[in-house]
Structure 1
Amino acid sequence: MGTPFDETAIDNALADLSAGEKAWAATSLRRRRELLDEIHARTGRFAEDWVRAARTIKGLDADSSLVGEEWMSGPLTLLQATAALSATLSALETGYSPLAGIALQEAPGGRVAVPILPRGVYDRLLLNGFRGEVWLRPGVDAETARKRAGLAQLDPTATRGIGAVLGAGNITSIAPLDALYELYAHNRVVALKLNPITDPLYTVFEMVFAPLLELGVLRILTGGAVEGSYLVHHDDVAHVHMTGSAHTHDTIVWGPGQEGLERKKEHRPLLDKPITSELGGVSPTIVVPGDWSDADLRYQAQHVATHRLHNGGYNCVAAQAIVLSADWDRKDRFLAELRTAIERAPRRAAYYPGSDGRVADALASYPDAERLGPGAGRVLVEQLPRTDTPLLRTEYFSPVLGVVELPHLGGAFVHHAVDFANTELTGTLGANVIAHPATIRRLGIGFDRAIERLRYGAIAVNTWTGLAFLAPRAAWGAFPGHTLDDVQSGIGVVHNAFLLDDVERTVVRGPFRPAPRSLLRGEPTLSPKPPWFVDNATAATTGRRLTEFYASANPARLPGIFLSALRG
């Protein structure tokens, strides 16, 4: 950063990787599993350094509860991913499918559903009441799913060249996870270029990934757009994966400015190699009307505020459009609670570049919007038009939230809300649905059909799609079917520690109420308010303790986690 562009560092890194590809082809499944175990141990060892660097990037005070986000979406996520991927390699190493012994289920539409949460006793304890599954594409049967699980590790000697990974600047585990997916799912050695925002993590990542660096199958690079462009267009690179915006994707594929627009119009991509991508969009949270108590309204308003404000709003899956029933008799009370939750969420810096400009753009489009929170930096736009309005088409990637009201109640509302999300909102990365358990029971198969009809790569029912990002065996990416010239939220998936083929979506579900209130209302879940809620007072302590537990798997640490979680 701030120095003249030098091609030498990238050329040398790619030369190293060309040699490293031969080493990777000769690396046995057992050794590949051992490498994951070594990275797991080193992640635990350097977790505190990781979080300290993340605090610097995001301007968080050491005593802020929001530091919990950095523990959970940073080293904790990589710890869980390496452990899950190691288990998959262990199965393949002994000649079994990663799905051996797992009872596959049926999802709506005759799809195969692979259960991914809970897996094991610790999931059942720490995420009690949460569950998840990956739905495969229609027509894929259980036998085929088991046979194909493992992807490129089914033939580890068949390597596939060098993959260039352009890391994200918002969530600090994205770049490491994407690099591992290239190596293990696709059998490509990796040139990982960090987003300049995350340069303070360079040394931490070097320490964590030392075993892969020493083997020559990973190189970590820094630099800005010039370096990134040189890397992805380099003749030695066989494939590109990026996380970012659709605009950045199109600049890479078609070229910048007017020339890029002309190329796109004529279907003449500038990039001469395959690219996969995880992009953002306008994610909805559909609030299904029901008989909610005052406590339900307050809790779910805090939940929705978290959908938007986690990580300051700089998440590709952050909710931007809240879909409500105009006829719900509790609508006004819910909106009042939502304003309060947004207003009271902890103060934090607008660290992501361009945030203030995007907020200003939203205010220019909606001059009557409410400005809430510390410094009035959060924007709430009510009574949005139901079509043809910027907030439904533009990912603001900042603390901007809109509210759309649709007619009807019950099944008719759900039907219209799904149609609205599918047709009016840009992107297909994630959708949230919040519904009272009694409403879900009353709608029955109609509710299941609604979830099936949502065309999103991750769907969360009574939880946040961020859980699908954090769960290592969940597949993460846009709904399949996008193309280079209409990329929406991207092409392909990542994470996916079972290494499943033919993925369509991930569906996660959580409890409508936290414990102990859930137990008093007859819902069998012991989970208190989740630690990823932005107003969770003990999130930093809980996040640290969870990270320490997943690093060591020492059950003696569990009581401390439960105590901190309950206090949150």
Structure 2
Amino acid sequence: MSVVQATSEQKYHTSLDEIDRALEELEAAKSRFQQTSLNEWMNLVESCIPTVVDSAREWVDAACQAKGIAPGSTIRAEEITAGPAAALRYLRLLHDSLKDIAKQGRPQLPGPIRQEPGGRLFVRLAPVKRRHDALLFTGTTSDAYMAAGVTAESVAVQEMPPHLSGQGGSPRISLVLGAGNVSSIAMTDTLTKIFQDGCLVLLKMNPVNEYLGPIFAKGLAPLVDAGFLRIIYGGAEAGQHAIAHKSTDEVHITGSNFSHDAIVWGPPGPEQDRRKRENDPVLDKPITSELGNVTPWIVVPGDYTEKQLQFQAENLAASVMNNVSFNCLATKVIVTWRDWPDRQRFLDKLQAIFDSTPPRQAYYPGAADRFREFAGKEPTGVPEGTLPWTLIRDINPDESPMYVERESFVCVTTETALEADSPQDFLKVAADFTENRLWGTLCAAVMVPQSFRKSGENKKLFDEFLARLRYGAIGVNQWPGLVYGLMTPPWGGHPGSTLDDPQSGVGWVHNTFLLDGIEKTITEGPLTASPKPVWFPTHKNPEPISWKLVDFYAKPSTWNLVRLLGSAVKNGL
């Protein structure tokens, strides 16, 4: 069995005949997939770990070269932590869950299940003790906020997927349309579909990062050799052919809502509009998706120390600068209270980080045009091929609705100052604003001083505020990018989206505890932390720490943990 690969002369092209053969090979492997035992699934997960490790250096080097990241640059750490390190963490956590299923029938949760006064259930997802998360993500917790009606009893008896519970199930073939920005997305989407959703996968690489396809074929060689994975390349024609193929049972896409709508309803125009009105989709098979977001960073007004303001300004800067802002979770709108005394001082700190950080190569197609549209100016004063970090203060959403209705997918961040009678009233106004004005349901960040929540009434108001936010992931004093990297929380848009209004998408990936009935996750971190997180743009030497994280997930020994923590202290203070 083979993976469809291409030489450099072929420019990663897969012919339609080769796509047909790849799907035929997946069809032929369905019987083997159905007969795979839980122990064999565990062995497959475990066998992927060394092959991903062996591919890690080539993976990172290829991504850095494509994105214009120079050897020795501190930015290389991004490609490590959001590449092989993320994939290895997923594999380790999933292997833990499969071992739990084998021994106890279901994954063992890392913390308590509690019921809040409002009646909703909270299920702890992190820190994971056996992965030493309390040391790696100091002070960080993550909880699943469960849907109405979910009880502790129903969580305790949730059924496992048929292929993991000895029932075999009916294997399906899922076409995964890979993301072109963050390198681990296509891999972890593929792993989620195979191991958790019980699908064989045809992975179509995105043309932007198709150079990773041959590396992924080596990293996931155990799945390729088993016949459960095939990788293809190409543009719209290849994608359309694979989507329409009779062997493709379902589709998963990470991309834009425009791409989603073209798949589901056909090309833009009157016919697409008609199909939406009459609920007459072109696509006749299930689709799941992650489609981006106009991500807010909501600043709850209050008393912050100078150290807290500086740390959170760096945290916010990281959310904008990571991957040159070509992230669906990059902050696009900073939401403040107009009367907050520290408003301008906080924004000045953010601007100072922007001013002191060199611009980066804008590698994603169309970035310069999007910059001109959203910044309202030419990208002057920076080297050719780069774009300046841009903060636009005090926008009026009524006068400039594009900032709140469309994801720019470029390094332009705005701030809007809301009118409110008090900090308490600001919570209601901010919740109204995100619900009624901002496009997307993927994630949001909320910055809040501890002093605000000291009073019982304020704590109640803040909890009600979090309950109102319609996002799949909420980070409190934490960039939601960490939620993606933790892997135990599910990643995707808030439930309730529909095909004709998908917002940030339908369905979840990750969710290594295989938990059903989640409405959203709330991940909270401290207002300051030391050592400095490796994803901060102000970190002086994050690459050695990042490689030691890979070493730790490759071989999670006490020695590798000590080496990792020592490197974090040495390089991160």
CA distance in structure 1 between the partners assigned to 2:109 and 2:452 by the alignment:
36
Which of 257-266 and 14-23 deviates more? 257-266
Q: Which residue of 1 aligns with 2:87?
A: 78
The amino acid that maps onto 1:278 is E
Secondary structure of the equivalent of 1:489? coil
CA distance in structure 1 between the partners assigned to 2:158 and 2:381 by the alignment:
50
Q: How do 1:112-261 and structure 2 match up within 5 A?
A: 112-120=121-129, 122-148=132-158, 150-152=160-162, 153-258=164-269, 259-261=271-273
Aligned-pair CA distance for 1:39: 0.5
Match of 1:350 among 362, 369, 372: 362
Aligned-pair CA distance for 1:224: 1.2
Q: Which residue of 2 aligns with 1:291?
A: 303
Match of 1:400 among 412, 432, 435: 412
Which of 239-248 and 532-541 deviates more? 532-541
Secondary structure of the equivalent of 1:170? coil
Tell whether 2:78 aligns with 1:69. Answer: yes
Which of 54-63 and 312-321 deviates more? 54-63
Aligned-pair CA distance for 1:533: 1.2
Q: How do 1:391-540 and structure 2 match up within 5 A?
A: 391-408=403-420, 409-442=422-455, 443-515=458-530, 528-540=531-543
Q: Which residue of 2 aligns with 1:523?
A: none
Aligned-pair CA distance for 1:275: 0.3
The amino acid that maps onto 1:546 is L
Deviations 1:483-536 (A, max 9, x none): 011011000101001111122111111010123xxxxxxxxxxxx221111221
Secondary structure of the equivalent of 1:61? coil
Q: Which residue of 1 aligns with 2:337?
A: 325
Q: Which residue of 2 aligns with 1:10?
A: 19
Aligned-pair CA distance for 1:261: 3.2
Conservation of the 8 A alpha-carbon contact between 1:109 and 1:452: no
Secondary structure of the equivalent of 2:452? helix
Conservation of the 8 A alpha-carbon contact between 2:552 and 2:560: yes
Compared CA separation, residues 372 and 541, structure 1 to 2 (3 A): farther
The amino acid that maps onto 1:340 is A
Secondary structure of the equivalent of 1:281? coil
Secondary structure of the equivalent of 1:13? helix
Tell whether 2:276 aligns with 1:276. Answer: no
Aligned-pair CA distance for 1:95: 4.5
Gaps of 5+ in 2: 1-9
CA distance in structure 2 between the partners assigned to 1:107 and 1:428 by the alignment:
23
Compared CA separation, residues 175 and 418, structure 1 to 2 (3 A): same
Aligned-pair CA distance for 1:422: 1.4
Aligned-pair CA distance for 1:214: 1.0
Q: How do 1:553-564 and structure 2 match up within 5 A?
A: 553-564=556-567
Compared CA separation, residues 327 and 211, structure 1 to 2 (3 A): same
Conservation of the 8 A alpha-carbon contact between 2:147 and 2:517: yes
Gaps of 5+ in 1: 516-527
Conservation of the 8 A alpha-carbon contact between 1:160 and 1:186: no
Aligned-pair CA distance for 1:413: 1.0
Aligned-pair CA distance for 1:345: 2.6
CA distance in structure 1 between the partners assigned to 2:242 and 2:51 by the alignment:
28
Deviations 1:378-422 (A, max 9, x none): 222111114461100010111010100012332111221111111
Two-structure CA RMSD over aligned residues (Å)? 2.0
Conservation of the 8 A alpha-carbon contact between 1:29 and 1:89: yes
Secondary structure of the equivalent of 1:444? helix
Q: Which residue of 1 aligns with 2:6?
A: none
Secondary structure of the equivalent of 1:490? coil
Tell whether 2:370 aligns with 1:361. Answer: no
Q: Which residue of 1 aligns with 2:547?
A: 544
Secondary structure of the equivalent of 1:192? strand
Secondary structure of the equivalent of 1:46? helix
CA distance in structure 1 between the partners assigned to 2:319 and 2:170 by the alignment:
39
Aligned-pair CA distance for 1:94: 2.7
CA distance in structure 1 between the partners assigned to 2:96 and 2:85 by the alignment:
17
Residues paired across the two proteins, number:
553
The amino acid that maps onto 1:320 is K
Compared CA separation, residues 561 and 4, structure 1 to 2 (3 A): closer
Conservation of the 8 A alpha-carbon contact between 1:288 and 1:433: yes
The amino acid that maps onto 1:192 is L
Conservation of the 8 A alpha-carbon contact between 1:428 and 1:488: yes
Conservation of the 8 A alpha-carbon contact between 1:288 and 1:435: yes
Deviations 1:87-106 (A, max 9, x none): 11112223422137853222
Conservation of the 8 A alpha-carbon contact between 1:17 and 1:162: yes
CA distance in structure 1 between the partners assigned to 2:236 and 2:407 by the alignment:
21
Which of 404-413 and 218-227 deviates more? 404-413
Conservation of the 8 A alpha-carbon contact between 2:38 and 2:98: yes
Tell whether 2:52 aligns with 1:49. Answer: no
Conservation of the 8 A alpha-carbon contact between 1:278 and 1:489: yes
Aligned-pair CA distance for 1:6: 2.4
Aligned-pair CA distance for 1:563: 3.7
CA distance in structure 1 between the partners assigned to 2:393 and 2:469 by the alignment:
24
Conservation of the 8 A alpha-carbon contact between 2:223 and 2:229: yes
Which of 119-128 and 95-104 deviates more? 95-104
Secondary structure of the equivalent of 2:29? helix
Q: How do 1:98-109 and structure 2 match up within 5 A?
A: 98-99=107-108, 103-107=112-116, 109=118
Identity %: 35
